[in-house]
Structure 1
Amino acid sequence: MNGRSKGQFLLCNFQQIRTIVKVRLKWVKNRSLDHIIDVQTDLKAACLLKDAIARSSTGYLTSKSLENTQKLLGITVPTLRFIRRFPTLFHEFPHPKWPSLACFELTHVAKLLRQQEMKVFDECQTDLVERLCRLLMMSKSQMIPLQSIHPLKWDFGLPDDFDKNLVKRFPDHLQIVKGTSGLACLKLVQWQEEFAVSELQKSNEKRGLESDNGADGRSAYKYREFKRGKSALEFPMSFPRGYGAQKKVKAWMEEFQKLPYISPYEDSRRIDPNSELMEKRVVGVLHEFLSLTIYKKTKRNYLRSLREELILPHRFTRLFTRYPGIFYLSLKCKTTTVALREGYRRGRLVERHPVARHRDKFHHVMRTGLVYRCKGIEVLPQLDSLIDEAEEDKVEGQSEEEEIETSDECYEAGTSEVESASDED
Structure 2
Amino acid sequence: MVWWTGRSLRPRRPHSSRLAVELQRASLVNVKLKWVKDRMLDSVVSRERHLRPALHLIERISADPRGQAPAQELSGRRHQSEIATFMRRFPTIFHETSSPSTGGPWFALTDAACLLRHRELQILREMESDLVDRLRRLLMMTVARALPLDTIDQLRWDMGLPPCYPESLVPRYPTFFELVQPPGDERVWLKLVSWDPGLVVSELQRSSAAQGRGELVEECLAFPVRFARGFGLKRKCMEWLREWQTLPYTSPYADASGLDPRTDVSEKRNVGVFHELLHLTLGKKTERKNVSNLRKALALPQKFTKVFERHPGIFYLSEKLATQTVVLREAYGTGRELICKHPLIDIREEYAAIMRDASPLDVRCRRTSLISK
TM over 0.5: yes
The equivalent of 1:323 in structure 2 is: 311
Match of 2:57 among 46, 49, 66: 49
The equivalent of 1:24 in structure 2 is: 32
Report if the CA contact (8 A) 1:20-1:252 is conserved. no
Q: Distance in 2 between matches of 1:136 and 1:232?
A: 25
Match of 1:9 among 14, 19, 42: 14
The 1:299/1:252 distance shift into structure 2, 3 A limit, reads: same
Q: 1:363 and 2:352 equivalent? A: yes
The 1:70/1:286 distance shift into structure 2, 3 A limit, reads: farther
Amino acid corresponding to residue 349 of structure 1 in structure 2? L
How far did 1:164 drift? 2.0
Q: 1:64 and 2:72 equivalent? A: yes
Matches within 5 A, 1:253-292: 253-292=241-280
Amino acid corresponding to residue 68 of structure 2 in structure 1? Y
How far did 1:256 drift? 1.0
Report if the CA contact (8 A) 2:249-2:268 is conserved. yes
Unaligned runs of at least 5 residues, structure 1 = 1-5, 72-76, 209-219, 374-425
The equivalent of 1:116 in structure 2 is: 119
1:30-71: per-residue Cα shift (whole Å, max 9, x none)? 112111111113111110111122233543333334556569
Q: Distance in 2 between matches of 1:116 and 1:310?
A: 35
Say what the alpha-carbon RMSD is for the aligned residues. Answer: 2.4
The 1:318/1:245 distance shift into structure 2, 3 A limit, reads: closer
Aligned residues between the structures: 345
Amino acid corresponding to residue 351 of structure 2 in structure 1? F
Unaligned runs of at least 5 residues, structure 2 = 1-10, 363-373
1:62-119: per-residue Cα shift (whole Å, max 9, x none)? 3334556569xxxxx94333221111111112222233x2121211221221111111
Q: Distance in 2 between matches of 1:342 and 1:283?
A: 14
Amino acid corresponding to residue 138 of structure 1 in structure 2? M
Q: Distance in 2 between matches of 1:247 and 1:79?
A: 53
Q: 1:105 and 2:108 equivalent? A: yes
Report if the CA contact (8 A) 1:11-1:270 is conserved. no
1:268-322: per-residue Cα shift (whole Å, max 9, x none)? 1111122221111111101100011010000111111222111122211211111
Report if the CA contact (8 A) 2:317-2:325 is conserved. yes
Structure-1-length-normalised TM-score: 0.76
1:195-245: per-residue Cα shift (whole Å, max 9, x none)? 00001001111111xxxxxxxxxxx3xx24x74x3x510000011224465
Amino acid corresponding to residue 352 of structure 2 in structure 1? H
Report if the CA contact (8 A) 1:8-1:268 is conserved. no
Q: Distance in 2 between matches of 1:195 and 1:11?
A: 27
- SS at structure 2 position matched to 1:10: coil
Q: Distance in 2 between matches of 1:38 and 1:70?
A: 22
Report if the CA contact (8 A) 2:29-2:264 is conserved. no
Q: Work out the percentage of aligned pairs sharing the same amino acid.
A: 39
Matches within 5 A, 1:229-244: 229=218, 231-243=219-231
